[in-house]
Amino acid sequence: MNKFARRVMVTGGAGFIGSHLVDALIKKNLKVHVIDNLSTGTLENNKQWAENDRFVFTKKDLLSKRPLVLSDEYDVIFHLAANPEVRVSSTSPQIHFQQNVVATYNLLETIRKAKCTPTFVFTSTSAVYGEPLVIPTPEDYAPLKPISIYAATKLACEALITAYAYNYGFNAIIYRFANVVGPRSGHGVIHDFIQKLRKNQDELEILGDGTQTKSYIFIEDCIAAMLEGAEKTKAQVEVYNIGSEDQINVKAIAKIVMEALGLRKTALKLTGGVDGGRGWKGDVKIMLLETGKIKSLGWKPKFNSQEAVKETAKILSRT
């Protein structure tokens, strides 16, 4: 039986990735309940489903003292609610601890107390690997040594989810994402470059030395991989990397964004960065994921990193 035969919950479903996931689930004729506190997500992202009887939105903070009420009506819970700003963690680590770890713990406790057994799908990050010695990095790489507070909180969530799944009898899927880009994204290097260039077309500041080289995956490919894994995974707890098969550096991204905006004479100003050319403390400089595991289920990305960046820059430059 299709795991999505009844009803699905999406925490953070009004955010960038969450809203695209909601779109895909509704199009599969599923009943979708979105939980979001709207701290970074917007109702605009879900507006096309506002009048759809298979869509329900609840404004709710998982940190609220009033607990979320759950029943066994949910086949799958996609937990995307989190603070996505990696740089925040260096100055305000409590934000990521509360919004990532505590919020996840509260949701897991709600599931435990309700004695329900949905498939629990969690969106983690490639940053949990820290700076691996093996690139592309496989899911079984160890030891995991995150270098940002954000990544540490995501890894803590992975551990909590795994323990709760084994102790309380539900299945869990953990996705470790590369950099996800596409329409509706409100943070990240492409969004930031566009905002900077709209303020100053003569010069573009680039944090770091510009050689930071990472994998970027288009949102359409990311959602397809998430659904493929949720449909076909049989293990009680499974971890998948989701990313493109190549990399692109920050200077190349800057040039793509400038081209999307029709700019040809903008000077690039490299800040030099910290700790060997990183954009900020905790910035992983080189990242590429081994994705053979998710591809073995039948998924394959349509866009490589450069194509994903170009498509995103084209879309965001028009909004």
Domain residue limits, the chain: 7-180+216-242, 187-215+246-287+303-316
Percent of the chain's residues with pLDDT above 70: 96
pLDDT tens digit sequence for 235-271:
999 999 999 999 999 999 999 999 999 999 999 999 9
DSSP code string of 273-286 = -BTTTBSSTT--SB
d(CA 115, CA 111): 6
Cis before residue 143, ω within 30 degrees of 0? yes
SS3 30: coil
Question: Which residue among the candidates 141, 150, 164, 240 is catalytic per the annotation?
Answer: 150
Contacts of 7 (CB under 8 A, 6+ apart): 30, 31, 32, 33, 73, 74, 75
Q: Do residues 86 and 127 touch, judged by C-beta distance below 8 A? A: yes
Assign 3-class secondary structure to 180-210.
Answer: EECCCCCCCHHHHHHHHHHHCCCEEEECCCC
The pLDDT of residue 70 is: 80
The pLDDT of residue 2 is: 52
Common-topology check for domains 7-180+216-242 and 187-215+246-287+303-316: no
Topology at the third CATH level for domain 7-180+216-242 = Rossmann fold (3.40.50)
The pLDDT of residue 319 is: 86
Q: Do residues 248 and 216 touch, judged by C-beta distance below 8 A? A: yes
Q: What integer best gives the mean pLDDT of the chain?
A: 94
d(CA 214, CA 279): 13
Per the annotation, the verdict on 150 as an active-site residue is yes
pLDDT tens digit sequence for 31-89:
999 999 999 999 999 999 999 999 999 999 999 988 787 866 899 999 999 987 776 65
Tell me the CATH architecture of domain 187-215+246-287+303-316.
Answer: Alpha-Beta Complex (3.90)
d(CA 118, CA 76): 5
The pLDDT of residue 89 is: 54
